Chain A
Amino acid sequence: MITIDKVSKHYGSFQVLTDCSTRVAKGEVVVVCGPSGSGKSTLIKCVNGLEPFQSGTIHVDGISVGDPKTNLPKLRSRVGMVFQHFELFPHMSITENLTIAQEKVLGRSKEEARAKGVGLLDRVGLKAHADKFPGQLSGGQQQRVAIARALSMDPICMLFDEPTSALDPEMINEVLDVMVELAQEGMTMMCVTHEMGFARKVANRVIFMDRGRIVEDDTKEAFFANPRSERAQQFLAKILQH
């Protein structure tokens, strides 16, 4: 589904990504972790072309992301993305947030988009908030709306960029529950997250990044039981200490 091959990226002389390669198969859940500044968010943003990269290739469903001839908006409409800071549109109601792209990008009718949106809102447990505005919801609720918004486009895969790191601890689980459910339904997912509980529960593979390189790319069993690199061992020791 997603093939990343020898991707490198730099801002001026600063190297952000170096020779990153990995694959995410259909139905697979891959968790990307690593210390801050290791390039995880940049890597996941390269997958739908939000961040350009200078060398290497990324293919999503066989389409090259870096190719200038690729219709990026069209490709992105098929790849769902959830951001750290939710990024709901504050000037639109929750329902409008869920319908705008369906109508303007996919050309669905108002009724069809609305039915789809309300259905998804129900699924993330927020049907009662359909007419509110994002500012009236808690962070956890906003993030669940953001997930529903991404799902409204019927994506072939989902990218999560630290979806819980801007949330109060009490709200993390309501978001993770939605993500677990999604994973169990067979959605192809690539998640940048520090939630190792989530990784243990649903991930097929774990990728560990450090200083722009993928230093570990293994099944979750192998990763948690016996990380090969010293850096990953240290990271796990720190993160799992408490």
Chain B
Amino acid sequence: MNYEFDWSSIPGALPFLWEGMKVSLEITVTAVIVGIVWGTLLALMRLGTIKPLAWFAAGYVNLFRAIPLVMVLLWFFLIVPQLLKGFLNLDPNTDVRLTSAMVGFALFESAYYSEIIRAGIQSVPKGQVSAASALGMTYAQAMRLVVLPQAFRNMVPLLLTQAIVLFQDTSLVYVSALADFFGAAYKVGDRDGRLVELLLFAGAVYFVLCFSLSQVVRRLQKRMATV
């Protein structure tokens, strides 16, 4: 079997692929930011003394961690667009797939981020909270000024690693036919009958991006270990 590689359809498709990359990055960045903020709140609820909030956070985290991401995404593609259109009286033709993808990813990733952040908070010695309290700080001040800054510093490598995984997972939005980077590459390959080349190219791009980022993480870890 002699397969003739033909890469000629790639250069012309670069602008379209870049549009797809922008979608992937947009989803990643949104999910990371919302995931960290909402994940921090979930972690604080889970560690706090208010029982109903702790139960809610535990339930939320366990629920999302026990469901495949692709199913969460599908639900959000099927349900959220209907809700949004109903609530906001949108034109039925408005494309809310990107929004629903962002919401789906953000809510899903929050569960994972909250576990990372919970471990980070617990890694800060209890004496730090005692010292902050002894100085008259409220619980909220002790968390904000003393515990969280230390917790986040310890967590940076883990948070970045999770972001890399998340970036790869954005390719799952293909289930909604949303043109992220992977979806765009697939479309071009399908159109030109050059699926093998396009998927190899897309894979190479994912590899270069994620591998270099994980190298950055490794360096960070080394530097933090020596401090």
Residue positions of A touching B, CB distance < 8 A: 45, 48, 50, 72-74, 76-81, 83, 85, 87-91, 100-101, 104-106, 135, 149-150, 153
Q: Are A87 and B136 in contact (CB under 8 A)?
A: no
Q: Are A89 and B138 in contact (CB under 8 A)?
A: no
Contact stretch, chosen from B11-19, B56-64, B108-116, B142-150 = B142-150
Give Cα A48–Cα B136 distance, bound, in whole angstroms: 10
Return B180 CB to nearest CB of chain A, in Å. 37
- Which residue, of B138, B149, B150, has the highest number of chain A Cβ atoms within 10 A? B138
Q: Are B137 and A73 in contact (CB under 8 A)?
A: yes
Q: Are B134 and A89 in contact (CB under 8 A)?
A: no
Contacts A100-B145, A104-B145 known; A74 to B136 CB distance under 8 Å?
yes
Q: Are B127 and A76 in contact (CB under 8 A)?
A: no
Task: Answer yes or no: B141 CB below 8 A from chain A CBs.
Answer: yes
Q: Are B141 and A48 in contact (CB under 8 A)?
A: no
Q: Are B127 and A104 in contact (CB under 8 A)?
A: no
Q: Kindly list chain B residues whose C-beta atoms are within 8 Å of the C-beta of A83.
A: 127, 130-131, 134
Return B153 CB to nearest CB of chain A, in Å. 6
Task: Answer yes or no: B30 CB below 8 A from chain A CBs.
Answer: no
Q: Kindly list chain B residues whose C-beta atoms are within 8 Å of the C-beta of A72.
A: 133
- Which residue, of A90, A135, A149, has the highest number of chain B Cβ atoms within 10 A? A90
Task: Answer yes or no: B128 CB below 8 A from chain A CBs.
Answer: yes
New A-B pairs, 7, CB < 8 Å, besides A77-B136, A105-B136, A135-B227: A80-B134, A87-B130, A88-B131, A91-B150, A105-B141, A106-B136, A153-B135
Q: Kindly list chain A residues whose C-beta atoms are within 8 Å of the C-beta of B134.
A: 48, 50, 76, 79-81, 83, 150
Among B127, B133, B145, B227, the residue within 8 A (CB) of A85 is: B127
28 contacts across the A-B interface (CB closer than 8 A): A73-B136, A73-B138, A76-B133, A76-B134, A76-B135, A76-B136, A77-B135, A78-B136, A79-B134, A81-B131, A81-B134, A83-B127, A83-B131, A87-B130, A87-B131, A89-B150, A91-B149, A100-B145, A101-B132, A104-B137, A104-B145, A105-B135, A105-B136, A106-B136, A135-B227, A149-B135, A150-B134, A153-B135
Contacts A50-B134, A73-B133 known; A104 to B141 CB distance under 8 Å?
yes
Q: Are B136 and A89 in contact (CB under 8 A)?
A: no
Give Cα A91–Cα B146 distance, bound, in whole angstroms: 8
Q: Kindly list chain A residues whose C-beta atoms are within 8 Å of the C-beta of B130.
A: 45, 50, 83, 87
Give Cα A45–Cα B126 distance, bound, in whole angstroms: 14
Return B31 CB to nearest CB of chain A, in Å. 27
Q: Kindly list chain B residues whose C-beta atoms are within 8 Å of the C-beta of A73.
A: 133, 136-138
Return B211 CB to nearest CB of chain A, in Å. 31
Return B164 CB to nearest CB of chain A, in Å. 26
Q: Kindly list chain A residues whose C-beta atoms are within 8 Å of the C-beta of B136.
A: 73-74, 76-78, 101, 105-106, 153
Give Cα A88–Cα B130 distance, bound, in whole angstroms: 11
Give Cα A124–Cα B130 distance, bound, in whole angstroms: 23
- Which residue, of A48, A87, A88, has the highest number of chain B Cβ atoms within 10 A? A87
Closest residue of B by beta carbon distance from A102 = B135
Q: Kindly list chain A residues whose C-beta atoms are within 8 Å of the C-beta of B153.
A: 91
Q: Kindly list chain A residues whose C-beta atoms are within 8 Å of the C-beta of B141.
A: 104-105
Give Cα A83–Cα B131 distance, bound, in whole angstroms: 8
Top 7 A-B residue pairs of the complex, sorted by shortest distance between their CB atoms: A77-B136, A87-B131, A101-B135, A81-B134, A105-B136, A87-B127, A76-B136
Among A45, A79, A89, A149, the residue within 8 A (CB) of B128 is: A89
Give Cα A78–Cα B227 distance, bound, in whole angstroms: 35
Closest residue of A by beta carbon distance from B139 = A73
Give Cα A150–Cα B138 distance, bound, in whole angstroms: 16
Give Cα A67–Cα B134 distance, bound, in whole angstroms: 17
Give Cα A91–Cα B125 distance, bound, in whole angstroms: 13
Among B132, B145, B150, the residue within 8 A (CB) of A90 is: B150
